Amino acid sequence: MAANSSTGSATEPPGLETQWREIDNLNQQQLRAGDSWYLLDKRWYDQWKEYVHTGDQNSSSYPGKIDNTELYEDLDSYHLKERLTENEDFILVPAEAWHKLLSWYDMMDDQPPLERKVVDLPSTVKVEVYPVEVYLCLSSNLESTVSARFSRADKIHAIHQKIRQHFNVSETAESRLWMRSTDTSSERLRNLNMTVLDTCLSSGMTVIMEIRNADGTWPTSRPQIMRNSADEDSYQGPPGVCGLTNLGNTCFMNSALQCLSNTPPLTEYFLKNSYLEELNFTNPLGMKGEIAEAYADVIKQMWSGRHYSVVPRVFKTKVGHFASQFLGYQQHDSQELLSFLLDGLHEDLNRVKKKEYIELRDADGRPDQEVAEEAWHNHLRRNDSVIVDTFHGLFKSTLVCPECNKVSVTFDPFCYLSVPLPVSKERVMEVFYVSLDPTAKPTQYRLIVPKAGRVIDLCAALSQATGIPPNQNPNPFKMAVADVFNHRFYRIYQTDEFLSCILDRDDIFVYQLSSGCVDQDGEEVVMAIYMRERSHYRDYGSGSNSYGTSLFGHPLLMSMPRAQCTREALYQLLLKRLARYVRPLDPSEEVEEEEEDEEELYKAQTNGVSDDEGEEDSEEAGPSKKEEETQESSQNEEQNNCQSEASPSSEGEERAEEEESSSEPDRGSSTEEGQSACGSTDTNSQDATDGDQSAGAEPSGKEEEDEEEPASCAQANKRLPGRRHYTERRKKALFTMQAVNSNGTTERGMGEADGSFSFSSQPYIAIDWDPDMKKKYYNENEAEKYIKHQSMDVPHQQTTVQLQECIELFTTVETLEEENPWYCPTCKKHQLATKILDLWSLPEVLIIHLKRFSYTKYSREKLDTIVEFPLRDLDFSGFLLKKTVNSTEPPCRYDLIAVSNHYGGLRDGHYTSYARNKDNGQWYYFDDSKVTYAREEQIVTSAAYLLFYQRQDKIRHPTIPPPIPSSTQPENHVSSQTCDGMDGAASCVSMETD
């Protein structure tokens, strides 16, 4: 079977349909606390799914050994990479499914399994992908630490015992634990029965054990485990101008906190301790006041003027405690965190202690003013807090039934506006074009294609850019589009696939296949070509005596007529395609070599199938009659070879004498270089190659050589019927070839006895290089070179829109989606009604969420559109339905007070913020713990994500003049440049000072 061809430890797997059914059923298991689940690379799993769904054991999609290489930070420590996402980078399988896959396919050598436990956390049961990793040490030697990982459900007692065991501390010794964070403080861990989660212990922190002295005293009343914080406490900077330490991918939280911190009415509410009288400990929808208290603590520290940076560790832990989606240290959305925080603060500070049931009424033709006042009054009867006072406004929602024209009008409160961005119908894609011309380097193009287009539209755009006209073939552009990843084809696209499945971060190569000059009845085969380098030694430890291989360089896609698919033709074609960076053999280097004993030669193939498979193939060869036919075929081939090899490859080259000995051939390096051009592993496919096998070989007949031909052929024919021995002259080949699976890891049988290929699916061919041959003939520097087309020099023009356009889109009529229909009370059924949202009244502080992240059934993308938003005088009077009745009505003009920014793409990004200090009116740029001065012209960027506006009549003029930047400012507080922090932001943002 194919599944155990590469390893000696894998067991015989069941049929492909059975494999899928068993694993799929096991994956439906419910999570139970204490169970083990395993991380599995998503790419490998997808490859396995494709393989089992083909129903073909010999499919080229065979995944090979389980390979989690892409999940590790490095292959020395095997630490898991940060910010991995489930169902994008990895999938989770239960223990039983993992062990089945492991027994069927085995795992890459030395890779440890990624086992994780299911933990029961507040409000959720989940697999703990990232346990808490802390450092352990004794107070007597703070420099000697050891790292250890614990579950958030573990109790502190487990950590206590771990320290005792590792440092050989007696069970009778009295001790106490301290928790050291990264800020400058330490905290006593008094209750050993509390969980790691409840004690706010997080990765990167240190737990220190202090042992009581023999005289009953403690070495210190408080261990000096960090530098004294007196210097920090003495700092008196501008209140609110304070960074927030990144605890590990918490920039999303820091950005949202900085924006809320610089929202004057909310911050003053907490600084004046008004919240203490309104904490609601009984609200079943709240968090027992814990979120409000944790937020108040952060705000008071930030506005004390005594800290350069505050560590929001307790706040982060409390958020994760009540919202499990924020547990751990993965990247999240600042808008989602803000939504949870505002709702949590509202419920913790709700002045309504007991919510009454209120039946909602439809407008039924009543005036809007009356319905709106009723809706707002009903809202306040259940929701009354500082959050409602500051952030809540009112929508008018109008639904119209498409069948009976029933009009439903309701007024609903809102806390922020999520406005759409105008979506461009075009998309910019960067691709590498690989021409048929072997001397031409790959060229990088920047193309404009339809966003909702298909792969054929990409080919059309590239055809226009390259000037290559289409033809009349089924694929008019004769191009193949592929995603290249890690020296292999991650995916080869069909022309009718949507471009939305190609991400901006993918490395897309477009290969010109042929000019289309094929016979009318001819069929072209598109071959995927991989480059592999052999190791010098066979890998006996894996249960096989084959040589280990590793992929390198860029793969190729090329086509050739199926009728001409012979090993010799492919070898010659590859020599031409690789001519730019592969040096051909000189005539003086074209040494003819002898090969004997077909069976022994087959076993010695360096990249063939295992010995077991060879035996299977021999058994499948059938009865002796079939073997006799094979021997006859081999006899005929030998005769043809003798005739063709009678001519030397070049003038002046002496022909080596033919050995008549039938001894076993050497299986060393000479065999490696003497294999056929294809390196076939099939015993029935030892193809006889002629003297033109090497590039540039020109036969020149010599009559004296012809005279020797009958004797040598007769000698060969004499040996064949006996032990199937023969002696064959072959020119040295630059490389061998081997049919492999789509990953390039597992060999497949290839070729027929007549020298032609037979492929049941997409053929993948590996070019195997001997290390010495590769070093001598393969130019790696030249192979990596490419040309940038002039289209790459044209700066990408970002789309620019006005904020008012986004608000207009928000208030545009739309039809409900099928997943979210409206129940019409007249028709008594769900309808896809038309809906329009209008703004009725606006709050004191208006939060506008720019919907940069677009998620549909078919695509996910981030829009980098520049939204030009005003810093002052944002006028909403044209958008409000509620018109000013008298002079007591508040104005509709707003000024900007804060911005949350997101740099990067969908998966990797970084959050920062701009904010205007309420006391001095100065703008600052907050990048985690770093704070810099900002100028107003720097604020409007394509990274703007959340906009905070305050109504002009509520804005107070600064009572404290803004500070004058000087070189005396502390370097770690205000600097002239700040770079993206530990979340992997895209770029470094230069900041100028006034």
Does residue 251 carry a catalytic annotation?
Answer: yes
Structure token pair of residue 458: 């990409």
CB 533 within 8 A of CB 552: yes
Structure token pair of residue 693: 């096998």
Structure token pair of residue 867: 């939204």
Closest of 42, 46, 48, 59 to residue 19, by C-alpha? 48
**CATH number of 109's domain:** 3.30.2230.10
Closest of 529, 528, 536, 489 to residue 508, by C-alpha? 489
Same domain for 144 and 278? no
pLDDT at 500: 81
**CATH number of 248's domain:** 3.90.70.10
162: Cβ–Cβ under 8 A, 6 or more apart, which residues?
136, 148, 150
Catalytic option among 242, 251, 806, 892:
251
CB 223 within 8 A of CB 188: no
DSSP E strands in 539-640: the ranges are 547-561, 592-595
Same domain for 112 and 168? no
pLDDT at 524: 77
Does residue 910 carry a catalytic annotation?
Answer: yes
Closest of 249, 202, 418 to residue 852, by C-alpha? 418
Query: When comparing pLDDT for 452 and 665, which is higher?
Result: 452
| Domain assignment present for 466 | no
Mean per-residue pLDDT of the chain: 76
| Domain assignment present for 6 | no
Domain ends where: 123, 150, 166? Answer: 123
> Where does 272-367 have alpha helices with state H?
290-302, 313-322, 334-348
pLDDT at 659 over 90: no
- Please enumerate, as own/partner, the contacts of 990-994 that have beta carbons within 8 Å and a separation of 24 or more: 991/925, 991/932, 991/933, 991/934, 991/938, 992/935, 992/938, 993/932, 993/933, 993/965, 994/933, 994/935, 994/964, 994/965
| Domain assignment present for 900 | yes
Q: How many alpha carbons fall within 13 Å on the CB side of residue 341?
A: 26
Percent of the chain with pLDDT over 70: 72
pLDDT at 530 over 50: yes
pLDDT at 225 over 60: no
| Domain assignment present for 84 | yes
| Domain assignment present for 182 | yes
Closest of 648, 520, 516 to residue 592, by C-alpha? 648
Domain ends where: 123, 142, 159? Answer: 123
pLDDT at 34: 85
Structure token pair of residue 70: 């892409």
Nearest-angstrom CA–CA distance, 190 and 176: 8
Structure token pair of residue 530: 């991989």
pLDDT at 88: 84
pLDDT at 966: 41
Give the confidence band of 546 by pLDDT, cuts at 50, 70, 90.
Answer: low
| Domain assignment present for 571 | no
Domain span including residue 57: 16-123
| DSSP assignment of 159-209 | HHHHHHHHTT--TTS-EEEEEE-SSS-EEEE--TTSBTTTTT--TT-EEEE
| Domain assignment present for 887 | yes
Candidate ranges 96-105, 179-188, 557-566; pick with highest mean pLDDT: 96-105
pLDDT at 61 over 90: no
Number of compact structural domains in the chain: 3
Give the confidence band of 388 by pLDDT, cuts at 50, 70, 90.
Answer: very high
Same domain for 204 and 245? no
**CATH number of 138's domain:** 3.10.20.90
Nearest-angstrom CA–CA distance, 707 and 489: 51
The predicted model scores a pTM of: 0.61
Catalytic option among 725, 902, 910, 973:
910
| Domain assignment present for 449 | no
Same domain for 34 and 167? no
787-788: strand order across its sheet: 488-493, 479-485, 508-512, 426-434, 443-450, 787-788
Q: For 414-473, write each residue's pLDDT tens digit.
A: 999 999 888 777 888 999 999 988 899 999 999 989 888 889 999 999 988 988 877 655
Q: For 920-979, write each residue's pLDDT tens digit.
A: 999 999 999 899 999 999 999 989 999 999 998 888 777 666 665 543 334 444 433 333
Same domain for 102 and 150? no
Domain ends where: 211, 245, 261? Answer: 211
